[in-house]
Amino acid sequence: MIRVILVLILFVASFSFPQEREKHPLQYEEVIKGMDFEDVKLLLKTALDGRNMNVLGVVDVAKEKPRFSYMLVCNLSYAEKIFREMPQLGVMAPCRVYLYERKDGSVVVGFINVDTLLRLFGKKLSKEAKEVFKKADREVKDAIKEVRGEL
């Protein structure tokens, strides 16, 4: 029931909320200030790799300012546990972690909001698979913290 309500809220939100002021429930972003885009990219890749969130590739969509890149991130052990139970979730994989440069020079790192995904699809997953999902989410967020020097 909660999942249905959440889907309906997302649907209704699309017609009624001022989008530029409200972050979408499926979107997770963090702003990193005082660092160059290329430094953030390199440190993030290293931090993700260090947490076994394997970076399969880095795609530079825009090399000139404002720069935009994304990383294809995957942990096969996690994927195995989740896809075994709900293979459709593979369309979210490899997880894309994107980075873009804002006018003030800050860099935004974003990816899909796992909490919302779990609220939507959690009923289809076992407790163990949900834990794996949360662990993956924590690891990406910790990698971002490491880039900011907070870990």
Q: Which residues bind another protein (CB under 8 A)?
A: 1, 3-4, 6-8, 10-11, 13-15, 18-20, 24, 26-27, 56-57, 61-62, 66, 68, 70, 72, 74, 76, 79-80, 83-84, 87-88, 90-94, 96, 98, 100, 108, 110, 112, 120-121, 124
Please identify, using beta-carbon distances, which residue of 18 and 150 lies nearer to another protein.
Answer: 18
User: Which amino acid type is present at position 41?
Assistant: K
Please identify, using beta-carbon distances, which residue of 56 and 151 lies nearer to another protein.
Answer: 56
3-state secondary structure labels for all residues of 77-125: HHHHHHHHHCHHHHHHCCEEEEEEECCCCCEEEEEECHHHHHHHHHHHC
Minimum CB–partner distance for residue 139 and another protein (Å): 19
Angle at 140 between CA 136 and CA 144, to 5 degrees: 165
| Cβ atoms within 10 Å of 36's Cβ, excluding its own | 12
Torsional class of 89: left (φ above 0), alpha (ψ -120 to 50), beta (otherwise): alpha
Minimum CB–partner distance for residue 14 and another protein (Å): 4
End-to-end CA separation in angstroms for the chain: 38
Please identify, using beta-carbon distances, which residue of 35 and 93 lies nearer to another protein.
Answer: 93
Minimum CB–partner distance for residue 127 and another protein (Å): 19
| C-alpha separations of 9 from 23, 38, 114 in Å | 14, 38, 17
Minimum CB–partner distance for residue 48 and another protein (Å): 16
Please identify, using beta-carbon distances, which residue of 84 and 134 lies nearer to another protein.
Answer: 84
Please identify, using beta-carbon distances, which residue of 35 and 79 lies nearer to another protein.
Answer: 79
Minimum CB–partner distance for residue 151 and another protein (Å): 24
